[in-house]
Amino acid sequence: MDSILVRGNGPLSGQIPIAGAKNACLALMPATLLSEEPLTLTNAPRLSDIRTMTQLLASLGAEVTALQDGKVLATSCHGAINPVADYDIVRKMRASNLVLGPLLARLGHAVVSLPGGCAIGARPMDIHIDALTALGAEIELKEGYLHAQARGGLKGAVHEMRFASVGATENFLMAAVLAKGTSVLKNAAREPEIVDLARCLRAMGAEIEGEGTSDITIQGVDRLHGATHPVVTDRIELGTYMLAPAICGGEVECLGGRIALVESFCEKLDAAGISVEETARGLKVKRKNGRIRAVDVVTEPFPGFPTDLQAQMMALLCTAEGTSVLEERIFENRFMHAPELARMGARIEVHGGVAKVHGVDRLKGARVMATDLRASVSLILAGLAAEGETVVSRVYHLDRGYERVEEKLRAVGAQIERVKGE
């Protein structure tokens, strides 16, 4: 099993290109099931999760071809469709559940295994089920599979979600675009990935209004056509690499970044003593002066502070001046990186969904283990600023969400390499 070796070596300088958003692309790819015509996605990230979704779509009868070194995905679903999403594929990735809405819309029935993914909380499917049931679907759980059908087709409806779930919003959108009549989703997720999906569906002929707000209105259409759509910039990869010069010092420009994607995150960086400047090509990040200051963070749905940047932010605050309090309100079990940071000399107290981080002067390199996707990169960031060598094991998590991380960090002066396992 591969590991990542990091040596702390001081300030960073240069540019890091930010990839297309993993979470956006994983929702856009199943949209190919909605049409017999081709859907082409540009600015696609090159990640193992994208390969998993490719495998899943192929098992359903879709064709996905990676072009231009994987940055372009040419998809098509013009033949017979298999309505069964098998456990052996779905278990690998939470986003696999996003085929449920499109299959129901296109076929009127689907059998989809309950999904897997990072062990960061229950993330139940009931919000998805409630949303699709509102459109007329009948869904039953049998032997680990959701058996769904829409007798007579899906029908437009008004539905209010009890929680602004991103995945449930995406499933509702993809189901409602081919439903008969008008649908309104209240308390919809507002994330940029939702806006990106709505724009893609609109390019395919869907009639959608209100994406990016809490109320989205969809007027069902008879069919969708093909389209070409660029995947939005990955705001989580963006935030992660913005933290590299914040932790190590120096100045890095993150190409393709926009403050609008990470505004609440930028506010916390500013409070901690980090300067973020929007340029013609992206975001330029550097420390203002002196030591990082402690800040308090509460994770919330967009436009609040992203839960997917909590672990990376904790790595920064380990060496801040003072005590920071991080409250995780999205997922339980999302402080599993704290004991690993403690192995590097961090002082962290965890009580339920709250972590107190008492800043220390310097972290020290150690052997640590990645517990999930975002935790893995937080340990790499910590290693960049630590004395000596840090070895991060179980980095297969990392490859699910960050493309060529060693290459991107080496380009700005980091001492980092992948050590191949047996």
- Catalytic sites, residue numbers: 118
> Rg of the chain over CA atoms, in angstroms?
21
Q: How many C-beta atoms surround the C-beta of residue 273 within 10 A?
A: 17
pLDDT of residue 125: 86
Scan for tokens 């499917």, then name that residue.
125
CATH tag, 3-18+292-419: 3.65.10.10
Q: Which CATH architecture has domain 22-230?
A: Alpha-beta prism (3.65)
Q: What is the DSSP letter of 120?
A: S
Which amino acids are annotated as binding site, given as ranges? 22-23, 94, 308, 330
Annotated domain spans of the chain: 3-18+292-419, 22-230
Output the CA torsion sign for 257, 260, 261, 265: positive
> What 8-state DSSP symbol labels residue 293?
B
Contact 178, 106 (CB under 8 A): yes
Q: Which residues are annotated as a binding site for UDP-N-acetyl-alpha-D-glucosamine?
A: 94, 308, 330
Joined together, the tokens standing for residue 37 give 């015509």
Q: What is the DSSP code string of 339-370? A: HHHHTTT-EEEEETTEEEEE--S--B--EEE-
Same fold, 3-18+292-419 and 22-230: yes
SS3 203: helix
pLDDT of 422 reads: 64
Taking CA atoms, 143 is separated from 100, 114, 239, 257, 288, in Å, by 17, 10, 40, 44, 56
CB atoms within 10 A of CB 357: 29
Whole-number Å distance between alpha carbons of 34 and 104: 9
Which residue, chain included where needed, has tokens 């990186």?
337
Full pLDDT tens readout for the chain, 422 residues:
899 999 998 899 999 999 999 999 999 999 999 999 999 999 999 999 999 999 999 999 999 999 999 999 999 999 999 999 999 999 888 889 999 999 999 999 999 998 754 343 444 689 999 999 999 999 999 988 999 999 999 999 999 999 999 999 999 999 999 999 999 999 999 999 999 999 999 999 999 999 999 999 999 999 999 999 999 999 999 999 999 999 999 999 999 999 999 999 999 999 999 999 999 999 999 999 888 999 999 999 999 999 999 999 999 999 999 999 999 998 777 899 999 999 999 999 999 999 999 999 999 999 999 988 888 999 999 999 999 999 999 988 898 889 999 999 999 999 999 998 86
